[in-house]
Copies of this chain bind each other. A is one copy, B any other.
Amino acid sequence: MKVGFIGLGAMGSAMASNLLAAGHTLTVWNRSVAATEPLASLGARVARSADRAAQGEVLCSMLANDQAVREVFLDGGLLDAMDRGTVHVNHATISVALARELAAEHEKRGLEYVAAPVFGRPDMAAAAKLNILVAGKPAAIERVRPLLEAMGSKLWPLGEAPERANVAKIAGNFMLASAIESMAEATALTRAHGVSAADFLDVMTNTLFAAPAYQGYGRLIAEQRFKPAGFALPLGYKDVGLALAAGEAQRVPLPFAGVLRDAMLEALAAGDAELDWSALALVAARRAHLDERE
């Protein structure tokens, strides 16, 4: 298939390379051109503008946030430049509000729109093992299914309205942040009573919480290894903000999200913006002044 891909961060690059590997004809674009080089060496064409990358049957995009999506597709006029019938597959984690707006803007222009946010870190993207949440019109999803299957190990269909995939992604990231905070508080408690985070999390992540989310972040907390960040605090803060905004839109109180917001702000105030979001464990430990005791 002739496919365009824009947004070549760590995730996007890995996803795009799997489209190439699956034999698709790929044209890529990225704001900073350096990120296109590895893909070019694998056989991708590098477009000079987003518009040019969008001339295939399908355009996949993996941009950083609402602002980037808005700048490229709406303010930057990319939607206006796309041919009727083109399918846009949006992998970004964006707000429910923008998801709705985008659905309407695509509709208005005769473009197909599929929301396909993903769970998985760059290594899973590289291994084509992403879990992909999908929402959009069935026919559009069928058209892009080969692409999604080349990038992920499993598709999770969530209905027609694109924002349904986005709210699920947002709620899932909220659960991740909550899991991290619960480990942060629990280990502050056990440490204060003499049980190390490593000993405690060894039990928990091999029994009741033997799941990828807990094992990955649990290891970082046990080893106090928050750098380099797999997923940096400001990104986590943004995602908690998306959950709060989605709650506001439909009037759903989210007390855990409020606690997360404050803990992340506290981490950012402490200057930890470059750390992984599992550094919430530092906040819990500082509040208990644990380092002054040990």
Interface residues of chain A, those whose CB is within 8 Å of chain B, are 96, 119, 131, 133, 154, 156, 158-159, 161, 163-164, 167-168, 170-172, 174-176, 178-179, 181-183, 185-190, 192-195, 199-200, 202-204, 207-214, 243, 246-259, 261-263, 265-266, 268-271, 284, 287-289, 292
For A183, give the chain B residue with the smallest CB separation: B175
A sample of 5 cross-chain residue pairs with beta-carbon separation below 8 angstroms, ordered by A number, consists of A161-B194, A174-B185, A179-B182, A250-B288, A255-B255
Query: Would you call B192 and A252 a contact (CB within 8 A)?
Result: yes
Q: Which residues of B contact A182 (CB under 8 A)?
A: 174-175, 178-179, 182, 256
Q: What is the oligomeric copy number? A: 4
Interface of A: prevailing SS: helix
Query: Would you call B210 and A186 a contact (CB within 8 A)?
Result: no
A61 CB → nearest B CB, Å: 22
Query: Would you call A269 and B246 a contact (CB within 8 A)?
Result: no
For A253, give the chain B residue with the smallest CB separation: B262
Q: Which residues of B contact A189 (CB under 8 A)?
A: 167, 170-171, 174, 243, 246-247, 250, 252, 254
In whole angstroms, what is the CA distance A214 to B205 when docked? 13
In whole angstroms, what is the CA distance A163 to B161 when docked? 41
Q: Which of A193, A207, A284 has the most CB of B within 10 A?
A: A193
